[in-house]
Chain A
Amino acid sequence: MTVADLKKGESAIITDSSSDEIPLKLLEMGCLPGNEVELLQLAPFNDPLYLNINGSHVAIRKRIAALIQIEKQDG
């Protein structure tokens, strides 16, 4: 499951962000395995996505979001 599959308001834990296409800057913003990501808002056409990644509020495009693997946390 990837970030692009999240529904508004849902959170999950990042499991893999090693794709080469993910800009380093995003990783440095906190998009690293083990960190939490929450989908805050979606623009029309689900693009871009406004996320809370590890406390950083950022917006990224769907194409990149689809490369970030996540795992839903239960409870």
Chain B
Amino acid sequence: MGRQINVALIGNPNTGKTSVFNALTGLKQKVSNYPGTTVDKKEGVCKLPRGLKAHIIDLPGTYSLNASSLDENVVVELLLNKTDKNYPDVAVIITDVENLKRNLLLFTQIKDLRIPTVLVINMADRMKHRGISLNIPLLEKKLHTKIALISTRQKTGIDELKDIIYNYKEVPTEPCLDTSRIDPDYFDSLRQAFPNQDLYKLWLVISQDANFGKMSRKTLEIEKFKTKSISELKRLQQKETIKRYQFINSVLKVGQTVDTSKATGLRARLDRILTHKVWGYVIFFVILLTIFQAIYDWATIPMDFIDGAFASLSHWLKEVLPSGAATNLLAEGIVPGLGGILIFIPQIAFLFLFISVLEESGYMSRVVFLMDRVMRRFGLSGKSVVPLISGTACAIPAVMATRNIENWKERLITILVVPFTTCSARLPVYLIIIALVIPEGRFIGLSYQALSLMLLYLIGFGSAIVSAYILDKLLKIQRKSYFVIEMPNYKVPLLRNVAITVVEKTKAFVYGAGKIILAISVILFVLASTGIGRQFNEAEYLVRMEVAGENLSEEEIETRIASHKLEHSLIGVAGKAIEPVIQPLGYDWKIGIAIICSFAAREVFVGTLATIYSVGQDDEATIKNRMKKEINPVSGVPLFNFASGISLLLFYAFAMQCMSTLAIVKRETNSWLWPMVQLVFMTALAYVVALIVYQFLK
């Protein structure tokens, strides 16, 4: 057979729509993009009875077809465009038992589009708890639909749903509401002007500013039809909403009974503590600390493993493959480059694990509620919390997480300041510099070194907040108080959903950042191993001559040669070229090279230094010792001293170097302006701060 039908999953957020999608498609899903937008497109395949296949699209959660965000726009556009290849043969509306009244609003709207519409009532397992009972046959009759009562938690009802979908042709398509009743005169004239168009669809196009397939507002205006003013339209939308609720209320009055004495107040009790003016914040803070602690502790084991694995791979390749430029590229450029990306997977995966659990449980909304007022003082939104926290793993998924911030100005500011937070890639740089220049000693129980690290994290957050504040004052974009967040019921997170989310987001990081880092690593490596002129081409000869008197082992000579070659390679030339610029910051051309290389990925800084100082790559202790001994030719004092160390730390704290982040900011803001602003501003800031600090401290 092999026939395929399109099924669209639509519904309010927090109804368990994703769980239904997961239950229907298993792991046969893929995530992509709706063309021309940054909205995630989730699709999957489900096998129905008798060889029929369902191509299921999990549309973004929406409360109504009156779209108020990019996500919701996508839903309306698909449903109004019959020529779209994803146009559904059947629409499955997911609702949940506890919010049926509100969920049905969307249901009635979709029903009016005359697509076969199936109603799914999820969370059936909670019916008893809440004293709710439903008369399904009566509801089916009054709503002109087929109903599947399911519980994704207990895994019941899915097969019945599949059957209903299979028999989609038997699902009635009459609308629930007679659109013209909203304003009989207006709709009458619409009907006369456009006799061939479905009234409700016309209405949707007119009342919203979007392009739907062949019908666009412009075409209608061109027809010189007198469309109403924005506030008049809004009034009509209100009327429509009222009429719909009247219909829904009349249906639920007979189809649903609620025994209020049975409703348990778990949500209320939890809310009392979790949104408490004092305890709410304390609890949130404790949870945050726990997350960070866990991430850094638990992640080290897999990270060390990955590190070791790639180092071994590198060695093995060098031994097994014929020696030459390509082998070197592979073993010393590509493999370490890949390793450098993959090594962050544990941290990122853990972070998403925690965030996903907090979101699935419903707690995140409470956090947004608690933090909104504070965030607003700085031009951010309560919903900026998740991106800011995510930024401590990696700025890329953090920027992507800003998508649910409705207010454009708040969203833009969040995107612009997230790179200030201390991402994982900066840690290797911080750790080695701190180890080098921060003295031993303790202050109230904590070592100076630990305190310095904490301070750097605080500086990261602090500069994010302060920049947000400044941007808020500077940017002349209108800012409305449009902020509505649903506070869903608390529930135990479904493991499966969490797992799928973690996998998806980690993949996004690996593919998104990974490709860029890899490409830059390749180029930098080639530049670092190519040189022109005698010094480079005869490096081996020259070095051996130079060290003839000293009694060095073959290995030591090899590393000396490598260092010499690096110094005279194309990158080395570049490093020397920028030396005058970075000298006032206390750096020399060697650090210059490392900074250039870390444009690919910050952590490359450490590896590059290792090469420069002729140390084997895996020898961390020796790197430190070697760096300690390095003397600054200009000042005569150790190169890595307190002043230059702090200068370097602060430089990395503020510098916007991550190419991958710039790419994602460009994608999410749809223009080159903002990433350029970030690049210029942050680099300038980093330079100035490092300069002042060095000059002051030296």
- A residues neighboring B (CB under 8 Å): 17-18, 20-21, 23-30, 32-33, 40-41, 43-45, 47-48, 50, 54-61, 63-64
Contacts and interface: CB of A to CB of B under 8 A. Distances in A.
Contact of B486 (A33, A54, A56): A56
Given A48-B369, A50-B271, A18 B238 contact: yes
Interface of B: 63-64, 66, 68, 99, 101-102, 105, 231, 234-235, 237-238, 241-242, 245, 267-268, 271-272, 275, 277, 365, 368-370, 372-373, 382, 480-489
What's the dominant secondary structure at chain B's contact region?
helix
B231 A20 contact: yes
Contact of A43 (B99, B372, B483): B372
Contacts of A54: 101-102
Nearest to B68: A25
14 contacts: A23-B484, A24-B64, A24-B237, A32-B241, A32-B245, A40-B268, A43-B369, A43-B370, A48-B369, A48-B485, A55-B102, A57-B488, A58-B484, A58-B486
A29 B272 CA distance: 23
Contact of A25 (B64, B101, B231, B382): B64
B484 A41 contact: no
B484 A26 contact: yes
Given A48-B372, A55-B99, A63 B275 contact: no
Contacts of A64: 481-483
A23 B64 contact: no
A48 B267 contact: no
Given A28-B63, A28-B105, A50-B275, A57 B373 contact: no
A17 B242 CA distance: 11
B18 to A, nearest CB: 20
A9 to B, nearest CB: 10
B245 A30 contact: yes
A30 B102 contact: yes
Contacts of B369: 41, 43, 48, 50, 59
Nearest to B274: A41
Counting chain B CB atoms within 10 Å of each CB, which of A25, A28, A33, A47 scores highest? A28
A55 B101 contact: yes
| List of 8 A-B pairs having minimum Cβ-Cβ separation, nearest first | A57-B487, A63-B481, A28-B64, A41-B275, A59-B369, A61-B481, A47-B373, A59-B485
A41 B365 CA distance: 13
Counting chain A CB atoms within 10 Å of each CB, which of B68, B268, B487 scores highest? B487
A23 B68 contact: yes
B235 A28 contact: no
Contacts of B231: 20
Counting chain A CB atoms within 10 Å of each CB, which of B99, B235, B369, B382 scores highest? B369
Contacts of B268: 40
Nearest to A27: B241
